[in-house]
Amino acid sequence: MRTLSLLVVAFVATGCHDLEHVPAPDALTQDCPKSDMPTCASPDLAPPLPKCKAASGLMGDALICVDFDQPTTTLTDLMAKGWTFVNAPLHPWEIANGKLQVNNFAMFADTGSFKMPLTDLASATNQKYQSVTLAVVQRVDVDQNALPPQTAKLILGQDLAQREFTTLTGKNPRQQNQYTLMRSDLAAVPGVGTNFQPLFKLSSGALYAGVGWQIESIAVMGNP
């Protein structure tokens, strides 16, 4: 894997003591001795569920969060929200069995790519973020011994070598990968500035009986 820049409680509500009345929600902690506070937290303090699987365990604000196993997540829906699939509707991508993938990868000897919506860190709502994290729940199974090797690449916006920030090849198990890029590092890439727009590119120059690039969930997190 080659990278440009990576950075990479639940409380059980139990009674603290016998109470003769049912306290109001905002009084739960007031009836607990200070020594019992760690085990007497209000249920309201439970961490919120992530908006999608890719955001699980991550801090920050979910600016984009998509699970591909949702019935409302279709290529048509994504394109209406600013996703771009190369040569649509003739692109090789499909959503099948809860995964965004190339249709019939074993017969695919070409290049397929898609681009996510733009996140502009200069916009009024995004100026508070000092970095962004792209998180992907994915499985990669491509031929690293092909000439040239089959690859799955993440690129900043335009398909240029100097904008690549991760390249995957070979057989990788299903995993959650996180890629955090600082605002200052984005600005150092010519032509990028404050724009964060991941481009996913799958390249295959020969046939291979693997699954290719299967993506279950994608999130873009804004980090203060």
Reply yes or no on whether the pLDDT at 175 is more than 50.
Answer: yes
Gap between the Cα atoms of 211 and 112, Å rounded = 14
Mean pLDDT of the chain: 85
Percentage of the residues of the chain whose pLDDT score is greater than 70: 78
What mean pLDDT comes out for the span 4-20? 38
Alpha-carbon distance of 55 to 137, in angstroms, equals 9
Cα separation, 170 vs 18, in Å, equals 60
Average pLDDT over residues 129-150: 97
Question: For residues 220 and 17, which has the higher predicted lDDT (pLDDT)?
Answer: 220
Residues 6+ apart with CB under 8 A from 124: none
Q: pLDDT for 99-108, tens place per residue?
A: 999 999 999 9
Residues 190-195 have a mean pLDDT of: 96
Domain boundary assignment for the chain? 9-47, 53-223
CATH of domain 53-223: 2.60.120
State the alpha helices, DSSP H only, in the chain.
75-80, 183-187
